[in-house]
Structure 1
Amino acid sequence: MDEEQPKIAEMTFEEALRALEGVVRRLESGEVPLDESIDLYERGEALRKACQARLDTAQARIEKIVQGADGKPAGTVPFDGDGAA
């Protein structure tokens, strides 16, 4: 199975996410034999970890601009992802 699939480390985030969605669709179909389901699950978990690592890296790089009372940037704070200022 791995011979015909691209290596996860070489995939872009978007490619890995699409591959993960494909794995989920196949598993949810219920039409995959047990042994293949196990292989798909393992690949899906590896894809999920790769996507999460890339998201964590991106989140660490993003900073939110905090505006002062005069509307000018007063500094930055780490992006927290919850939408709260």
Structure 2
Amino acid sequence: MTDAEKRVSEPGDGLSYEQARAELASVVERLEAGGSSLEESLALWERGERLAEICQGWLDGARQRIDAVRQARETTSSS
């Protein structure tokens, strides 16, 4: 398995892109609403950072897969 395939299949925390994005949106809403203690806000911020990394991992992996397919097609068509 390539690094790109591994990142796409296992970007972190066992969450799909959609799950991570939805949870991230919820975290942002809670932070924007205010009313949390400093400790709670810091924990939410840290979770949001992790969720953003997971989403970025999914997007990077998808981009690499697309690029690999395009490159393979170019190689095949120029042979």
- TM-score above 0.5, yes or no: yes
1:4-83 counterparts in 2 under 5 A? 9-63=13-67, 75=74
SS of residue in 1 equivalent to 2:25: helix
* Structure 1 unmatched runs, 5+: 1-7, 66-73, 77-85
Q: TM-score, normalised by structure 2?
A: 0.68
Please, what is the CA RMSD of the aligned residues? 2.0
Larger Rg: 1
CA shift, 1:20, in A, is 0.3
Q: TM-score, normalised by structure 1?
A: 0.63
SS of residue in 2 equivalent to 1:47: helix
Question: Between the two proteins, what is the percent identity of the paired residues?
Answer: 43
CA deviations 1:58-82 (Å, max 9, x no partner) are 01111486xxxxxxxx837xxxxxx
SS of residue in 1 equivalent to 2:62: helix
Amino acid aligned to 1:62: I
* Structure 2 unmatched runs, 5+: 1-11
**Greater relative contact order (CA < 8 Å, ≥ 6 in sequence):** 2
